[in-house]
Structure formats: C-alpha cells, structure tokens
Chains A and B, each alone.
Chain A
C-alpha cells in the first residue's frame, strides 16, 4: 500500500509538540514551584485555572484563544504592536495556543514532584551555603527528575493529539498549521482512507514507542524520591 505521502504534517506536528514542551518547561516550572511552596490564598485559584484545560471542551478553549490571539485580542494585539504581524493562523500562534492547552499536563507532574521533594532538602542546601537558584538546579531539580520526565512526555503527547484547538486557532494551512491530526481528518473527509490509515498508524506507533521508552527509563532511574 504505497501512497504518495506528504510528510509535512508529521514534521510540523513534531515541531509544534517540541516547541510547546520547551515553552511549557520555561513557563510551567516557576508556576509549579510557586504552587508547591506558597502559602498564598491565591494558590487554589491558580491551581483551578491551570487545571481548566483538562475539563474544558477544546472548542471552548479554542474559541477564546482564537479571540485572544486575533489582531484585536489580548495576546494577538500586543503581538501585532510588537512585531507588526498577526498571530492567528500562524505556527507561533499555534504554539501559544498549545501551551495553554497542555499547561496542566506539564505543571501538575512538576507540582507533585516539587511537593514530594519538600522544603527539608532545600533548607539543608541553604545551610550548606547554596543560593536559592543553586539549590533549585543542584538539589530540587535532580530530585524531581521523574516529575520532569512525566511532564515532558505528557506535554509532548498531549500536544501531539491536539485537534479541536488547532482547528479553531490554526486552521488548515499546509506547512504552517496543518498538523497530523488535521491531516488525518482531511483524508477521512475526502475518503482517502489509505493515507488516513498510514498517518494514524504512524502516530499510534510513535506515541506508543515514546511512552514505552520513557516508562522504561523512568523505572531504571536510580533515584526514588519518597
């Protein structure tokens, strides 16, 4: 069953998922850290907001993001002022949308991992002369390594399987926003079942292999934080 395959959507999907995970590690880690150690009364509110994408239908999230990313929207407007170009229906816009969509899948494992590390090892490190940032990189993060792995995998996999938000925010522009899930939907719509099969099976296999690799690595990690 050889069909002429366009690998563009696959490549684009991997790029999107990769970029989203990087953005989320940079943004999500401080949020997770704050949630794990704050005693602020805002904590519950922030926790609820972070968890929202889990329960919201992707179309609802996509709808609001479409408005926010639009040229007159909260994010899109600022972006347009800064760069002169629009955000909606672009790859960058898609990365921003995916970051909101996958936020809880990165923040929650990290939050849990930092909480498991707790304050005690941090105090020990401070007493040994390590600064707070030093402590974060040399004690808290290595001890939370499993949390990071879980966050990366879940964030990546969840972005990989994204459909509703992409459709709302990104549309279906080849090379820009036409990711794998959209491409599969397209093929099915036009009754190209062979192509749909190939892409679906590919995504299925790839997802399985990634998860398998991570869980195996996770089990073999020498560190068990209890």
Chain B
C-alpha cells in the first residue's frame, strides 16, 4: 500500500519538533493538536519549506528528503500542492490566471487534473474573470485549493484552510474538501485544531502534542482509545460510528441509520437512502443501564453493549470514561458514583442509552 513516511527533528529556541510518522497515503490524514504544538511547522517540513538538520520524508517510495544520503528535493520540484491558512492568491492576476499559474508550470505528461474538472467541483466558473481582491474569503480559499490541485500533485497539504473563515463560509467549503478525496484521489495532509472538521473529513488522524506524535491511526480507532483522552478537548471525547442511511420517518422527522451493531435514530438528515454517514457519539451523551428499563423511556436509542475497559479512576475527578462494545467501540462518560452503584467490570453485559436529540451528525455549532 502507498505510504507517507516522515521523520523530522527540528529545534527552535523555544520549541522542539520531533516527529516520526507513518501513514497510509490515501484519503485525508488529519494532523490535530492545540495551537503551538507544531502542526504548521510539521506541514512546512513535509513541503520542504523548513529545512531540518536531520530528517527524512518519502511518499510511495519516492524519497523527497533523506539527510543521511544527502537528498533534499526543493519545494519547486516536489509534486506537492500547498493550501495555506490565508489564500495567498496573486493580486496582479485574475482568478483564471491564478488557477493556471501552477498548471502552466506542470509538465504536460503529469497533468492529470483539468481546469474544467476543478472549476466544476469547486463551483468557481463565475469567478474566473474576477480579481482575487473582489472575492469573499470562502471564494478565495476555493480558488487557492483549485490552484494547488491544478499542479496535479501527488500530495496535497492543507494548513487550517478554514481557520480564517466564519462559520457560514466554513460550512460552504467543507463539502468541497470532502469531495476532493473522491474526485481527485490525492492523499491530503490536513492540519487543524478544529475537531469538527477532523471528525467530518479524516480517515487517518495524527495527534500532535508539544512537537511529538502522541497518537495516530485510523480515526475510529484513535477516537475510541481511552488513553488518548487527555489529548482531546473536554466535550469532544466520543467514538465515531460509520453508518448507512436506512430510512426517513417523515411523521416524526427522524432518520434511521444502520451500523454493524444495530441501528440509530437521529434527527432528520438531508441524505439519500444508502448514503454513508459518519456519526460521532459524544461520551457525555451516552448513559449505561445494567438491565433494560421497565418503565417507558424517552430515550430512543437503547443498545446492547458489553464493557470493554474502564478508564482511569482519579479521586479528584468525579467522572470516569467507559469503553463499550456495541458491535463497534462506544465511549461513555459516567460519574464515579454510578460506576460504584452499577459495579461495572470488564466483560459485563449492559445497555447503552443515547438520546436521539444528542445525535446530530455533521451539524456543527
């Protein structure tokens, strides 16, 4: 399988980046971490914009940097697209000329991606003759993405491309980024500090902390690991469930999703039947009961589960995280008092309750 390997060691006066990463080079690889953890520096190293004293980087066995062998391919010769935090469009060129800038500099035989395709996917037809300065932030960023794509890169690097945009514009662009993977089949390294974006987009995730990789792997695995809890902000801990849209209930405004362990009722989703949908079930929205309730309950989702692992119990902390198996991993945060009352232990058969109200996949605040 195609692999992206990178190993960098870079010291700054106040900061040390020490990264060793190996990831399948497909889909969106999200690099997540708090501000100042070295995400952007890492991306600049991947591009060759920061020269490390000792480092190596290869994509699909193409070596772009190996300091032991004295190999360093400069950025201008790397088949890399870079989308910066700000669009960085060239103000003296119109949108069409901006789009063509890299395309013209790509050898003919390497041009896999066409102008028409990019224009259509990013929906920028009507902007072509305009100057970048007259575009909105979201439009500019779409053009910047298109400009990078038109070099037909083997790797696309995106550095918080949505961070300078307001929520409205973010919602506008996210679907386009989502489409990049399926339309152009280019592995993307996507840096962000916004978990919503990552949950929505990523296939693989790399968690950075203080310049080091603290965890990495397929996103469903990383998000269901109890020991990575300290890297994920409060209120964002929660397992991801890959589902398929099964049914719409018009009368009650609900949608039913199926997943390996059963089905979930969620508020209505504007999705086609059969479409795939990734849902994050936040740990704080999951409650555990030892046997099915004898009373009627307002909670729509009641799932059979078994306890897999009980997180670290800290005397100063009132909560504890529980990892359950419902056919796929599920995390629940409960109080220590409940843990004692239910006498939970691993392997125990229980039920998990999830309020449908809490499940609004891909609807971001």
| Chain A contacts to B: CB under 8 angstroms | 120-121, 123-132, 134, 138-139, 142-143, 145, 222-225
Contact = CB atoms under 8 A, between A and B. Distances in A.
Contact of A123 (B49, B81, B92): B49
Nearest to B89: A124
B269 to A, nearest CB: 37
B90 A130 contact: no
Nearest to A120: B88
Given A121-B88, A132-B76, A127 B105 contact: no
Contact of B148 (A123, A128, A134, A138): A128
A127 B47 contact: yes
Contacts of A222: 92, 131
Given A126-B76, A127-B82, A132-B76, 16 more contacts: A121-B90, A123-B75, A123-B82, A124-B84, A125-B90, A125-B101, A127-B81, A129-B102, A129-B105, A130-B102, A131-B76, A138-B101, A143-B91, A223-B91, A224-B91, A225-B91
Contacts of B82: 123-124, 127
Contacts of A126: 49, 74-76
Contacts of A138: 101
B101 A128 contact: yes
A122 to B, nearest CB: 10
B86 interface: yes
Contacts of B81: 127
B91 A128 contact: no
A216 B84 CA distance: 35
Given A120-B86, A124-B82, A129 B91 contact: no
A129 B106 contact: yes
A42 B124 CA distance: 47
Nearest to B150: A128
B151 A129 contact: yes
B105 A128 contact: yes
Contacts of B80: 127
B147 interface: yes
B105 A223 contact: no
A142 B101 contact: no
Contacts of B90: 121, 124-125, 139, 142-143
Nearest to B87: A124
Given A120-B86, A123-B49, A129 B76 contact: yes
A127 B91 contact: no
A127 B75 CA distance: 6
Nearest to B106: A129
A128 B102 contact: yes
Nearest to A223: B92
Nearest to A130: B105
Nearest to A118: B88
A43 B8 CA distance: 31
- The 6 nearest A-B residue pairs measured at CB: A128-B102, A129-B105, A127-B82, A124-B88, A142-B92, A126-B75
Contact of B76 (A121, A130, A145, A224): A130
B100 to A, nearest CB: 10
A115 to B, nearest CB: 16
Contacts of A145: 92
Interface string B70-110: 00001111001110101010111000000001100110000
